[in-house]
Amino acid sequence: MDLSIPQELTDFAAEVRAFIRAELPDDLREKVIGRRFDILSADEKRFWQRKMVAKGWGAPAWPVAYGGTDWDVLKRHTFNEVVADEGAPMPVPFGQGMLAPILIEFGSEEQRQHFLPRILNLEYFFCQGFSEPGSGSDLASLKTKAMRDGDDWVVSGQKMWTSYAHQANMMFCLVRTDPEAERPQQGISMLLIPMDDPGITVRPVITLDGEHHTNEVFLDDVRIPGANLVGEVNKGWTYAKALLGYERTEVARIGLSKRLIKMVKEAAAKRTVNGVPLTETPAFRRKLASLEIELKAVEMLNLRMLSNVRRNLPGNEANMLKIKGSELQQDLTELMMEAQGTDALRFDRDAALDQNIDLFGDVDYRGDVTANYLATRVVTIFSGSNEIQHNILAKELLDL
């Protein structure tokens, strides 16, 4: 097997790196690298996405006809890696990575013509309205209902954990359109809902890291034109399953884990234990090496999945990637805490401000490391918890 990297790819990586270094403002890079994984404003996300679109790199995985590229698996992988390594913002996943492939496969031509260009330049910033109180793992039990009224749909109910609903102006939403269906999965449809409807209320949910990533969304007689139904009525479960496959591949975040490994190494090289850098101590080296090996394995799995995606929909590699990729992120952020030692103190900005403490004075409080560690606890839960992924694999691969 030839594992050498072709010169053409090395040149391409250098081109992407040079472009990002020339175009990415320092403050944006700082926010992406130094802090939590997502505290950019919608305008900052839009600014960077439009730069990438102008360069022709806005949605590498899309077909060329819709503004994508003809890059092969390795080229896309290289691109994602450099983007993550350089601290450039990743594309907002909901529209580009999840909904767009569904519209391309199952949507009408009018929907593709209308939505895809607007998703590409982030004029439409989508959020994902799937989960509800009591309907997370058991998603098919969802209760938000949509009733026909002439050509329109009228939607009422509550969504839970709707990430970035406070930044989004559109939501792809699962709704119950046939409460009488024999199986709950058969009575679900997918609607595209504008967030500026007066019947929508968005309330923040603050997570462990003290940040506002996610929300609860209330829908009260929200009127949606019939043209905003994706595919066929009562077929939403089919689209949702395909969409979740795409979502699960996104959460592996291999580029991010590579950057984390680099950061762990830098931090551990600076910290000494009895005069010895942490990177030279056997126990720490063993942990680091074991995570690096795991990352390599996840990377290979990702490449296998990407090459399958080109031929068909993502298969069970997506479930495996979700499990291993998310565990790896958690282990790496934990090791980063270890490498920071007591500097990784809980960063309590409000308490510090109350007591008039100089936050960035003499002591290097790496509160961002702690916040990132806390924020990363969620990755084994969202996109379908890891326990559920194990169940799916057991059922589909082992026939249990």
Q: Which is nearer to ligand FAD, 240 or 305 (CB)?
A: 240
Regarding 388 and contact with ligand FAD (CB under 6 A), the answer is yes
355 φ, ψ to 5°?
-90, 10
Residue nearest to ligand FAD (CB): 136
Regarding 387 and contact with ligand FAD (CB under 6 A), the answer is yes
Q: Which is nearer to ligand FAD, 177 or 214 (CB)?
A: 214
Alpha-carbon span 318 to 389, nearest angstrom: 9
Tokens of 370: 């702690």
Stretch that binds ligand FAD, among 43-51, 194-202, 266-274, 379-387 (CB under 6 A): 379-387
Among 37, 161, 347, 365, contact with ligand FAD (rule: CB under 6 A): 161
Among 124, 126, 130, 172, contact with ligand FAD (rule: CB under 6 A): 130
Regarding 193 and contact with ligand FAD (CB under 6 A), the answer is no
Task: Map tokens 């492939």 to a residue.
Answer: 101
Minimum separation from the CB atom of position 359 to ligand FAD (A):
26
Q: Which is nearer to ligand FAD, 240 or 369 (CB)?
A: 240
Regarding 162 and contact with ligand FAD (CB under 6 A), the answer is yes
Q: Which is nearer to ligand FAD, 29 or 166 (CB)?
A: 166
Q: Which is nearer to ligand FAD, 308 or 385 (CB)?
A: 385
Regarding 382 and contact with ligand FAD (CB under 6 A), the answer is yes
Q: How far, CA to CA in Å, does 277 sit from each of 54, 268, 272, 284, 293?
A: 45, 7, 4, 10, 22
Minimum separation from the CB atom of position 100 to ligand FAD (A):
16
Regarding 330 and contact with ligand FAD (CB under 6 A), the answer is no
Pairing of strands 200-206, 188-194: unpaired
Tokens of 250: 């996104």
Q: CA nearest 236: which of 279, 294, 288, 183?
A: 183
Regarding 136 and contact with ligand FAD (CB under 6 A), the answer is yes
Alpha-carbon span 181 to 168, nearest angstrom: 32
Alpha-carbon span 78 to 298, nearest angstrom: 15
Among 58, 68, 91, 384, contact with ligand FAD (rule: CB under 6 A): 384
Among 49, 78, 80, 131, contact with ligand FAD (rule: CB under 6 A): 131
Regarding 302 and contact with ligand FAD (CB under 6 A), the answer is no
Q: Which is nearer to ligand FAD, 140 or 345 (CB)?
A: 140
Q: CA nearest 240: which of 91, 124, 106?
A: 106
Regarding 71 and contact with ligand FAD (CB under 6 A), the answer is no
Size of the site for ligand FAD (CB under 6 A): 19
Regarding 124 and contact with ligand FAD (CB under 6 A), the answer is no
Q: Which is nearer to ligand FAD, 106 or 382 (CB)?
A: 382
Q: Which is nearer to ligand FAD, 280 or 387 (CB)?
A: 387
Q: CA nearest 382: which of 175, 160, 100, 81?
A: 160
Cα 395 off chain centre by: 26
Regarding 128 and contact with ligand FAD (CB under 6 A), the answer is yes
Contacting residues for 269 by C-beta, under 8 A, at least 6 apart: 277, 278, 279
Regarding 137 and contact with ligand FAD (CB under 6 A), the answer is yes
Among 53, 391, 392, 393, contact with ligand FAD (rule: CB under 6 A): 391
The residue type of 311 is: R
The residue type of 155 is: V
Among 121, 185, 281, 385, contact with ligand FAD (rule: CB under 6 A): 385
Among 53, 381, 392, 393, contact with ligand FAD (rule: CB under 6 A): 381
Binding positions for ligand FAD, rule: CB under 6 A: 128, 130-131, 136-137, 161-163, 207, 213-214, 378, 381-382, 384-385, 387-388, 391
